Structure 1
Amino acid sequence: MNLTTVRLVTIIAEPVLKDRLIHEIQALGAHGYTISEVHGEGTRGIHASQWQGGNVKIETIVSPEVAERIVEVVADQYFPNYAVIAYVIPVQVVRSEKFA
């Protein structure tokens, strides 16, 4: 089996950002994504999503270059004013052409 190392980008954010973040990651080169509703507690304290339900977790598997662009945009445009975290993990995939 031939495995290729790519990047799993995970963004956890307030639900009000869901559509904007999906648009951003697609515009930056992601070919697909998975969304889950998640619950937890962080350092920002109370925010609007506590009245709207849980946060959203958006995951996408992309090339290292696309992962870097996504994290840069999220950090620049969303970190200052919203409860958002983002992280990148190297993962190995079969059928790498689906993610490049």
Structure 2
Amino acid sequence: MSTMHTEKRTLLTVFTEASIEQLLIRDMDRLGVRGYTISDARGKGSRGVRDASWDESRNIRIEVICAREQAEALLAHLQARYYSNYAMVACFSEVEVLRPGKF
């Protein structure tokens, strides 16, 4: 039986307004993020229902797996630049990854 080799990384998940997607992509590229996943998101929170029925109510979910230090730096940037003017929440999770060189 083979043993899987995994390494720990941090998953940063950000839920925010789709209207700033291109700005966030530019920021992640500038900050050296090697990869990310962006998907549409719907739900309800402190600002009400976000159901994507019109462009201004669309939300996205951004997921980045990287070293903890990079995740913290990215989130600090997002907080400083976007938190006061856009609906945005974020969380960290510790994950174990295969192929750690990708992250």
More strand by share: 2
1:43 aligns with 2:19: no
Q: Check conservation: 2:17, 2:60, Cα contact below 8 A.
A: yes
**In structure 1, what residue type is equivalent to 2:59?**
N
SS at match of 1:72: helix
Q: Shift of the alpha carbon at 1:45?
A: 4.0
TM-score, normalisation: structure 1: 0.88
Quote the residue 2:27 is aligned against: 24
Q: Unaligned 5+ residue runs, structure 1?
A: none
Quote the residue 1:74 is aligned against: 78
Query: Which of these two proteins has the greater Rg computed from alpha carbons?
Result: 2
Superimposed CA distance per residue, residues 17-59 of structure 1 (whole angstroms, 9 cap, x where no aligned partner): 1011111122222111111101111113478x76315201111
Number of aligned residue pairs: give it: 98
Please, which of 14, 31, 36 is the counterpart of residue 11 of structure 1? 14
**Gap change, CA 1:13 and 1:50, over 3 Å in 2:** farther
Q: Check conservation: 2:16, 2:60, Cα contact below 8 A.
A: yes
Please, which of 82, 92, 95 is the counterpart of residue 91 of structure 1? 95
Q: Check conservation: 2:43, 2:49, Cα contact below 8 A.
A: no
Q: Unaligned 5+ residue runs, structure 2?
A: none
Ranges of 4+ aligned residues in structure 1 off by more than 2 Å: 44-47
In angstroms, what is the RMSD of aligned CA positions?
1.8
TM-score, normalisation: structure 2: 0.85
Provide the C-alpha distance between the structure 2 equivalents of 1:61 and 1:76, rounded to a whole number of angstroms: 21
